Structure 1
Amino acid sequence: MAIPCLCSMAPRGLAPNTRLNNGSMALIVVRNTSRSEFIKHLKRYASVKNQFNFPFVETYAVQEVKIQPRTKIGHDTEENVYLHATSAEVNYPWNIDGDLMEGASEVHVRVHPQLINLYGVSIDELDDSKAMCSCL
């Protein structure tokens, strides 16, 4: 999420700590949990309670993120992380913002600060420097 997404259905927004002008986006990670616990998390978006106050939900402020599918091949107990292997030959379908993308074995999302001009309430003024995007 790169914008807070405030609305009447989510009074705190989907990513309440996100700002339009700080060059970052919110990465919200929901780990394996039961369906009922996940539904409790989703219902919190409609209230003013902290929707991230669950042991299976983590949030990070990031400038970019690369997501790859993984298959578990082991567990490193010293660092408490899963070792994984990715298949370069297999393409996985990704649901990105409601659109199904096929053909990519990984997804790379990056923030491009100041690439567009924003107008509105609570938008801090920035200098007139033009941002360039070299990834497209």
Structure 2
Amino acid sequence: MAIPCLCSMAPRGLAPNTRLNNGSMALIAVQNTSRTEFIKHLKRYASMKNQFNFPFVETYTVQEVKVQPRLKSGLDANEDTYLNAASAEGNHPWNIDGDLMKEASEVHVRVHPQLINLYGVNTDDLETSQATCNCI
């Protein structure tokens, strides 16, 4: 999350400690837990209680993150064969904002500070800058 996402359904926001202008984003990692405990975590977003106060939830402030699919132990070193076979069987390893990714691969997300100018309430005064992105 690179924005707090405050709204009536999430009064504290999805990522309450993020800011639009600090060049970072929130990484919220949920470890293996029961479905019941995960639902409790999700329900906390709709209240003023701390949604991260669970032993299976970790939060980090990052500038970039790389996530790789984890292989089951005991498989041979040919990752692509296993991962692509899993996708062909309908078991998609990535669900990104509701989109199922057909090919399993590394996901790399990075903040590009000052790439766009934002105007609105509670934003700091912006200086005119010509920031560019050369990652693509």
> With structure 1 as the length reference, what TM-score do the two structures score?
0.84
Counterpart amino acid of 2:30?
V
- Contact 1:11/1:45 (CA < 8 Å) preserved in 2? yes
**Match of 2:44, as an amino acid?**
R
What letter matches 1:87 in structure 2? E
- For the residues of structure 2 that align with 1:86 and 1:69, how far apart are their CA atoms? 13
- RMSD of aligned Cα (Å): 1.9
* 2:127 aligned partner: 127
1:33-52 alignment runs, 5 A limit: 33-52=33-52
Identity %: 79
Q: How far apart are 1:104 and its partner, in Å? A: 4.5
For the pair 1:87 / 2:79, whether they are aligned, the reply is yes
Structure 1 pair 100–120 and aligned structure 2 pair: CA distance change class (3 A)? same
Higher strand share: 1
Contact 1:44–1:50 (Cα < 8 Å) also in 2: yes
Q: Does 1:58 align with 2:58?
A: yes
- Asked if the contact 1:64–1:108 (Cα under 8 Å) also holds between the matched residues in 2, the reply is yes
Tell me the TM-score normalized by structure 2.
Answer: 0.84
SS of 1:103's equivalent?
coil
Aligned length: 126
Query: Matched residue of 2:47: which SS?
Result: coil
